[in-house]
Amino acid sequence: MKAFKTITIETTNAIAVLKFNRPAQLNAMNREMMDEIIEGIHWINAQSEYHVAVITGTGRAFMAGADIKEYGSQTPEEFDAFQEKGKELYDAIENADKPWIAGVNGFALGGGCEIALACDMILASESAKMGLPEVFLSLVPGGGGTQRLIQKIGVNRVKEMLFLGGQYEANTLKDWGLVNQVVSNENFLTEVMDFAGKLSRRPHKSVAQLKRLANMSLTTIPFEERINEEAIVVKQLYLDEEAQLAIKKFIKKSEQ
């Protein structure tokens, strides 16, 4: 694995951890960092031995959005390229066949919040704050924030977050259904890794299909087709040796 300048990748057992590593800039994302994040995500996705991926930040922030100094000086062509790269980043997380957990350790604003929204689950520290403040720049979120947020919480809450551009505390967002769990500041990474470890021990074939089917429920594919796809998947898995062994083991245990 190559050495990166703006991120780090650490692996343990069946878990890969990608960390944003520009702490002095609150992990604000410039073009170089975006390229490295995309490369890191693709690398993790390609490694079948890692069943779960965690994405988190170094220092006080998860990611405080785009690097505004660079972002504000882009030509129209550079802006278009930046947006396309962003789409690749979010899609690489969302369409991976393994679950991605956002470990939100601090501020997750703008593009940082959108990366968390692309993940399958969000675990946030007690002091974490999330928000989409683009309205203050007379902009709107450009990385799917308006659409993915509405998929996860009610439209009235979404409009409040988008229109006001505020920063919302982890416990509030847990109550709203956006954050899965709020974990302690002191033991943040340990608790996130414990959760990831539990998930990594689930059969990864099943988890990959569960992710795909759950994401399919958010599409415009007709309900009947989605139900039919579920039936196809459960039969495929049922006939797989892994499931047959698990079923036999369960029966044997229940008969003892």
pTM, two decimals, is 0.95
The pair of structure tokens assigned to 56 is 């988190």
Per-residue pLDDT, 253: 83
Per-residue pLDDT, 69: 87
Cβ atoms of 107 and 128 within 8 Å: the answer is yes
Q: Quick one: 77 exposed, middle or buried, by C-beta within 10 A (0-12, 13-18, 19+)?
A: exposed
Amino acid at 124: A
Q: How many CB atoms lie within 10 A of CB 83?
A: 13
Active site residues: 114, 134
Closest by CA to 196, choosing from 55, 89, 62, 7, is: 55
Q: Quick one: 85 exposed, middle or buried, by C-beta within 10 A (0-12, 13-18, 19+)?
A: middle
pLDDT one digit per residue (tens) for the chain, 256 residues: 778 999 999 999 999 999 999 999 999 999 999 999 999 999 999 999 999 999 999 999 999 999 988 988 999 999 999 999 999 999 999 999 999 999 999 999 999 999 999 999 999 999 999 999 999 999 999 999 999 999 999 999 999 999 999 999 999 999 999 999 999 999 999 999 999 999 999 999 999 999 999 999 999 999 999 999 999 999 999 999 999 999 999 998 888 7
Per-residue pLDDT, 42: 98
Q: HSE (CB half, 13 Å, CA atoms) of 115?
A: 32
Per-residue pLDDT, 252: 87
Q: What residues form DSSP beta bridges with 52?
A: 15
The Cα–Cα gap between 36 and 161 comes to 29
The Cα–Cα gap between 136 and 166 comes to 10
